[in-house]
Amino acid sequence: MNRAYYNDQIKDFLTKESALIIAELAENNEFTLLQTQRDAWNEEIKILKSNLDGLEGKIYLEYSIPRMGKRVDAIVIIGPVIFVIEFKIGAELFSAYAVDQVWDYALDLQNFHETSHDKLIVPLLINTQQGTVPIVSKSKAQCLLKPIKCPANCLHEVLVSVVNQYSDCPPISIEAWEEGRYHPTPTIVEAATALYRNHSVENITRSEAGAINISQTSAKLAEIIRQTRAASQKAICFVTGVPGSGKTLVGLDIATKFIDRKDELYSVFLSGNGPLVGVLQEALYQDCKQQVKEGLRPRDLAVTRSDVKMFIQIVHHFRDASLIDERPPIEHVAIFDEAQRAWDLNQTCDFMKRKKNRPGFSQSEPEFLISCMERHQDWAVIICLVGGGQEINTGEAGIGEWLDSIMRSCPHWKVYISPQLTDSEYRAEEKLSKWVGNHQISYEPCLHLAVSMRSFRAEAVSQFVKHLLDLELENAKDVLSTISNKYPIVLTRNLNQAKSWIKTQARGSERYGIVVSSQAERLKPHAIDVKTPVNPIHWFLKGKDDVRSSYYMEDVATEFMIQGLELDWACVVCDGDFRFTNQGWGHWSFRGSKWQRINKPERQEYQKNAYRVLLTRARQGLVIVVPEGDEADPTRDPAFYDPIYHYFKAVGVQEI
């Protein structure tokens, strides 16, 4: 597949008129072409022509990086080397952002382009200032070199130097390289941004042989929506999946497919996860602003924050608006993310009485949300995205309440269910038993996502965490042994050591940060205070130069802030709230000046799920910190921490 606006053999590129090359670039450019872009292309072509003379290979200009929704200025393949080139025309100095940018492009190729995995990739950052030739040292340890900062007048010498150093490596077959498939696994922020830019879900995700993939699930849901509309029916769909499998991405894909408010198929993406909604709304808005600034989006198509908020909404805002306005909502399709976290009857009624002055309210949140869509006289579809073992807060009803609400209030609705909804972690088996023989229910294998897309280096991470938390020692050891060479999981008792390790692992703009349980209140001696308010938008979106960002590792995220989002590298710090004992996990909450045991099974399950969330947030690897405690401090007795440290060691987690 040709992902570049222009590609040619180097020898033909050198002889072709620059005007013809720019014309081809402009023809393939899907946005309004500004004069500044034309001038930049002209300067880049001039630099490349003056430095590629005498070299053989192929050149690609404006090469697509779908996961990031961007294009790298140039890729040049010479002999055994793939050069990833980014120009900074007019720049005198290379910013840290520019270095990370070209590194990200190179990492993207190495990680997600199948015929680039084992190839030597060299990122080059070029400015137009005069300078001396940078020193390039051969590396035997990796296929990806650190970014080389290169003045334009030195580009030829750098290209020749690198190719000569690796002359003992076989040359790249360009034909085979071009046939390589691109299998990205974007972060949820990257995915939402790319989808909002009208990229297809097929272009920004990968598929696994033998597994239902995101595009299949999305296509099935689109088919159900159209069938339901044609038949003037109402339907509810339950999509299940392992942590990080792309359930939220499926919902966003459906929302972007049916984003036109003038179309009867108009949909809305709803979530009770405030941090997720806030981060996605801000990311989409800032990306659209940047597109306008760069001339990639016409100014008359500029997007406001209100536009984005109509696309992704807090479910409680949707609920409250429907309380005031009893007409059918404008949307015929409502997508509820993390549907298992909707409130049960008691929580909803208590909230309505205290906050909305509605003492007679008598519906659970699922039942009320269903009733809102039932107001449509013709058709409606609800899509519930369901995570197993993800309930982490008091009053979360689980998926069983959605099933009961349909049976109780809307038995005429068609119900499409993932077969895995019967698994114990979804806590819906008893409810589903009531539907046996009911012709309204259909089991659809396409509605389950079994492969983790978050941990692109090792899909079995969620399985390992499940065995770990279920105290299945041998199973956990077996799974860990299969992923440790792809997805490092390490252990330490020193927080500073963990911070140093994670910084050495991350490259480019790969995001890292510290995550802890919301009950971890005795980490204050380590400068970790879970009670300190943290703005998730700053934490997840700000750069390395901002003290509010996750990169600084000063503010920490709890399970409530990070659920539904992710990091590339995570540092999980344990406290005395979740202890390993010979009788199983011990559950504790810090009150006043001492730890108090948690006895309610429901709260114990929430706490276990909190650690499930924390341990499955990293895409590429994690470091677990188990503090040593302090014998002089009874609230940090080493006896709280030592057993869990030894348990991790017994499982096979390597200490650094």
User: DSSP letter string over 485-503?
Assistant: TTS-EEEES-HHHHHHHHH
**Partners of 586 in the β-ladder:** 579
More confident residue, 103 or 387: 103
Round to whole Å and give the CA distance between 392 and 387: 11
More confident residue, 266 or 155: 155
pLDDT of res. 119: 92
Task: Name the pLDDT band for 79 (thresholds 50, 70, 90).
Answer: very high
DSSP character at residue 144: B
- 592: tokens are 């006043």
- 19: tokens are 């005007």
**527 by DSSP, 3-state: which?**
coil
pLDDT of res. 209: 39
Which residues does 477 contact at the CB level (< 8 Å), separation at least 6? 651, 652
Sheet of 489-492, strand order: 512-516, 567-573, 618-625, 489-492, 654-655
- 335: tokens are 């997508």
pLDDT of res. 459: 63
Return the residue matching tokens 């993939």.
213
Which residues does 57 contact at the CB level (< 8 Å), separation at least 6? 9, 10, 76, 77, 78, 79, 174
Determine the length of the chain.
Answer: 656
Q: Comparing C-alpha atoms, which of 77, 74, 83, 82 is closest to residue 5? A: 74
Q: β-strands 594-597, 584-591: how paired?
A: antiparallel
Give the DSSP letter string of 165-182.
HTTTSPPP-HHHHHH--B
pLDDT of res. 574: 97
pLDDT of res. 210: 43
CATH number of 213-273+310-449: 3.40.50
The number of helices, as runs of H, and strands, as runs of E, in the chain is 24, 22
* Chain region(s) in the chain for CATH 3.40.50: 213-273+310-449, 461-655
Mean pLDDT for the stretch of residues 388-399: 71
Mean pLDDT for the stretch of residues 458-483: 90
Contact criterion met (CB below 8 Å) for 272 and 314: yes
Give the DSSP letter string of 312-333.
EEEHHHHHHHHHH--SPPS-SE
Q: Which of 33-37, 450-454, 584-588 has the lowest mean pLDDT?
A: 450-454
Q: How far is CA 620 from CA 194, 270, 455, in A?
A: 21, 28, 6
Q: What angle do CA 40, 65, 135 make, to 5 degrees?
A: 65
pLDDT in tens, 178-212: 998 877 777 788 878 877 776 666 555 554 434 45
Round to whole Å and give the CA distance between 366 and 303: 32
Q: Which of 117-121, 301-305, 376-380 has the lowest mean pLDDT?
A: 301-305
Round to whole Å and give the CA distance between 451 and 446: 13
Q: Max Cα separation, the chain?
A: 83
Round to whole Å and give the CA distance between 199 and 171: 33
Round to whole Å and give the CA distance between 178 and 185: 20
Task: Name the pLDDT band for 255 (thresholds 50, 70, 90).
Answer: confident
pTM assigned to the model = 0.81
Q: Phi and psi of 193, rounded to 5°?
A: -65, -45
Contact criterion met (CB below 8 Å) for 171 and 163: no
Contact criterion met (CB below 8 Å) for 333 and 70: no
Contact criterion met (CB below 8 Å) for 479 and 493: no
Give the DSSP letter string of 27-68.
HH--SPPPHHHHHHHHHHHHHHHHHSTT--SEEEEEEEEGGG
Return the residue matching tokens 């910013």.
95
Highest mean pLDDT among 265-274, 403-412, 454-463: 403-412
Q: Phi and psi of 559, rounded to 5°?
A: -60, -30
Q: Which of 16-25, 294-303, 629-638 has the lowest mean pLDDT?
A: 294-303
pLDDT of res. 69: 66
Mean pLDDT for the stretch of residues 280-303: 77
DSSP percent split of the chain into helix, strand, coil, nearest 5:
45, 20, 35
Round to whole Å and give the CA distance between 409 and 395: 21
DSSP character at residue 358: -
Q: Which of 134-148, 162-176, 213-227, 279-293 has the lowest mean pLDDT?
A: 134-148
Cβ neighbours, 10 Å, residue 3:
18
Cβ neighbours, 10 Å, residue 172:
20
Contact criterion met (CB below 8 Å) for 375 and 405: no
More confident residue, 69 or 516: 516
Round to whole Å and give the CA distance between 72 and 104: 10
pLDDT at 115 over 50: yes
Mean pLDDT for the stretch of residues 247-254: 86
Round to whole Å and give the CA distance between 623 and 512: 11
pLDDT at 215 over 60: yes
pLDDT of res. 239: 93
Contact criterion met (CB below 8 Å) for 136 and 161: yes
pLDDT in tens, 596-624: 999 999 899 989 999 999 999 999 999 99
DSSP character at residue 388: T
**Partners of 262 in the β-ladder:** none
Q: Comparing C-alpha atoms, which of 452, 445, 451 is closest to residue 238? A: 445
Contact criterion met (CB below 8 Å) for 136 and 165: yes
Task: Name the pLDDT band for 301 (thresholds 50, 70, 90).
Answer: low
Mean pLDDT for the stretch of residues 573-596: 95
pLDDT in tens, 542-577: 999 999 999 999 999 999 999 888 999 999 999 999
Cβ neighbours, 10 Å, residue 439:
7
pLDDT at 510 over 90: yes
Contact criterion met (CB below 8 Å) for 119 and 78: no
- 176: tokens are 């085979």
pLDDT of res. 199: 62
> Which amino acid is located at 33 in the chain?
L
Sign of CA dihedral 618, 623, 626, 628: negative
pLDDT at 288 over 90: no
Mean pLDDT for the stretch of residues 315-339: 89
pLDDT of res. 208: 45
- 60: tokens are 């690609």
CATH class of the domain whose range is 461-655 = alpha beta
Q: Comparing C-alpha atoms, which of 622, 619, 625 is closest to residue 641? A: 625
Round to whole Å and give the CA distance between 613 and 504: 24
pLDDT of res. 211: 46
Contact criterion met (CB below 8 Å) for 329 and 373: yes
Q: Phi and psi of 416, rounded to 5°?
A: -110, 125
**Partners of 623 in the β-ladder:** 490, 571
pLDDT at 56 over 60: yes
Contact criterion met (CB below 8 Å) for 454 and 567: no
Task: Name the pLDDT band for 390 (thresholds 50, 70, 90).
Answer: low
pLDDT of res. 267: 76
Contact criterion met (CB below 8 Å) for 383 and 335: yes
pLDDT at 264 over 70: no
Q: Which of 201-210, 304-313, 429-438, 544-553 has the lowest mean pLDDT?
A: 201-210
pLDDT of res. 400: 86
